[in-house]
Amino acid sequence: MQPQTRFALSGDVNIAYQVIGDGPIDLVFVMGWVSNVDEFWTEPSFANFLQRLAKFSRLIVFDKRGTGLSDRVDEKNLPTLEERMDDVRAVMDACGSKRAALFGVSEGGPMCALFAATYPERTAALLTFGTYVRARLAADYPWGRSEEDYEAFLRDISTGWGERPVGLESRAPSKVNDEAFRQWWTRYLVRSATPKTVLALVRMNSLIDVRAALPAISAPSLIMHCTGDRTLHVEGSRYMARRIRGARLVEFPGDDHLPWTSDAEAVLNEIEEFLTGSRHVEEPDRVLATVMFADIVDSTRRAAAIGDRAWAAELQQFYGLARRQLERHRGREIDTAGDGYFATFDGPARAVRCAQTLAKEVSQLGLALRTGLHTGEVEVIGDKIGGIAVHIGARIAGHAGPGEVVVSNTVKDLVAGSGLQFEDRGVRALRGVPGEWRLFAAA
């Protein structure tokens, strides 16, 4: 759930911030480059990342002045690192945080490092991901960006802001072919800052150099980076880790610059263990359930015959019928994939009756279902279902004929006394499942 946006006054500038979670440690998340705290929650992978952080912390996110929902500023008078630190203090004061861990991503890293060195009494820990200590290439810092790199990036911003996902190829190469993510990134950038502000910010950020502050950092520090990061070289984080006393460096495989787009779970585990002393382990609930797989027979031929629009309408009718029957028979929808339906039930007899009724109703649409049922122990993690019982149910559906409901021997045995009748279909091998299985068709 998207948290409420509030504002903290930093000097005469309003800084937008949000607070989520009630964990024992305050964690200030500092996004790099530009941001919009409301847009954080419109991309599922980003929202899930922040929600997981909020499970073990009181998470504080904000927009730096000039970006997102915070007050806009004159492009000729952009905020210095000192003013950005003032913004962090203003947000912490507004939400009653006397001491917090700071988590800086990309350009947010140098600012967090400088804050930790300047205000040790307010810094519980320093965490960074995909960051740097100096932006530009130098003789004693060969991992910075060259002048040519900056000029190319500025041209990309000038010609592509609002038209395409600027910078996505280097920041999240794992997402370049994800059209929904591309659209979100384009929208996110536009709602984070104006083109003039972005160009000025890039030029200003190119002057960042906080190397002198590193030896003064006394807070416990976790420095993280993907080894193949295409935006900022991993050596920048290695440099930082070597010069902060006791810093822990963790490197992840992969090319992404953003912490939530590739192996987010591994990043989150490292953060949680660093801040709390233990990793989050989400144990699956194991319950007995009846799984139902129902597929429309000859769906491809049907779609070709009536056209995409009509087929989409028929699918929606099918899903509507299925959901009404699930509600009547206490079933739970798990997934709809193309022309199929996957659901679970807490009772096998209700599952069989639901499948039979649904097959009958669907036939009135001129369609036929192929349905398979199996009862077994499944793993429940959030809204997802897994385990061998799921695979068995799917394979049984493949042995059903048009309009048939085929069940495993387990289902038949468990509904004894229910009045349901079955026809023996013999022993079958189920692809990928050990052993042989006796199947029955509900009469």
- pLDDT for the residue 194: 93
- pLDDT for the residue 250: 98
Is the model's pLDDT at 55 over the cut of 80? yes
Torsion of CA 62, 68, 70, 71, to 10 degrees: 160
Dist CA 129 CA 110 (whole Å): 11
H/E stretch holding 166 reads: none
| Range of lowest pLDDT (50-59, 174-183, 283-292) | 283-292
Architecture of domain 285-442 in this structure: 2-Layer Sandwich (3.30)
Mean pLDDT of 196-210: 92
DSSP letters, 75-100, are TTSPPPHHHHHHHHHHHHHHTT-SSE
Dist CA 379 CA 7 (whole Å): 43
- Residue 206, classed as helix, strand or coil, is coil
Task: Tell me phi and psi for residue 286, to 5 degrees.
Answer: -110, 120
Under DSSP, the state recorded for 69 is T
> Structure tokens of 387?
């385990």
371 band by pLDDT with thresholds 50, 70 and 90: very high
Q: How far is CA 340 from the centre of its chain?
A: 25
- Residues 9-19 pLDDT 10s: 999 999 999 99
Q: Are 13 and 71 in contact (CB under 8 A)?
A: yes
Pairing state between β 436-442 and 384-386: unpaired
Longest dimension (CA), the chain: 84
Is the model's pLDDT at 367 over the cut of 80? yes
Mean pLDDT of 205-210: 93
- Residues 220-274 pLDDT 10s: 999 999 999 999 999 999 999 999 999 999 999 999 999 999 789 999 999 999 9
Dist CA 356 CA 121 (whole Å): 67
Mean pLDDT of 412-418: 93
Torsion of CA 252, 258, 261, 263, to 10 degrees: 10
- pLDDT for the residue 339: 78
- pLDDT for the residue 167: 95
CATH class for the domain made up of 6-276: alpha beta
- Residues 127-167 pLDDT 10s: 999 999 999 999 999 999 999 999 999 999 999 999 999 99
- Residue 66, classed as helix, strand or coil, is coil
Structural domain spans, the chain: 6-276, 285-442
Dist CA 168 CA 163 (whole Å): 13
Task: Tell me phi and psi for residue 428, to 5 degrees.
Answer: -130, 155
CA distances from 393 to 21, 221, 294, 342, 440 (A): 39, 49, 10, 10, 13
- What mean pLDDT is reported for the chain? 92
- Residues 268-325 pLDDT 10s: 999 999 999 976 655 557 889 999 999 999 988 888 888 888 888 888 888 889 999 9
Q: Which residues contact 150 (CB under 8 A, 6 or more apart)?
A: 136, 202, 203, 206
**Residue showing tokens 């004894």:** 416
- Residues 64-121 pLDDT 10s: 999 999 998 887 777 888 889 999 999 999 999 999 999 999 999 999 999 999 999 9
- pTM (global) more than 0.75: no
> Structure tokens of 397?
């559906």
> Structure tokens of 311?
């087929």
- pLDDT for the residue 311: 86
- pLDDT for the residue 282: 59
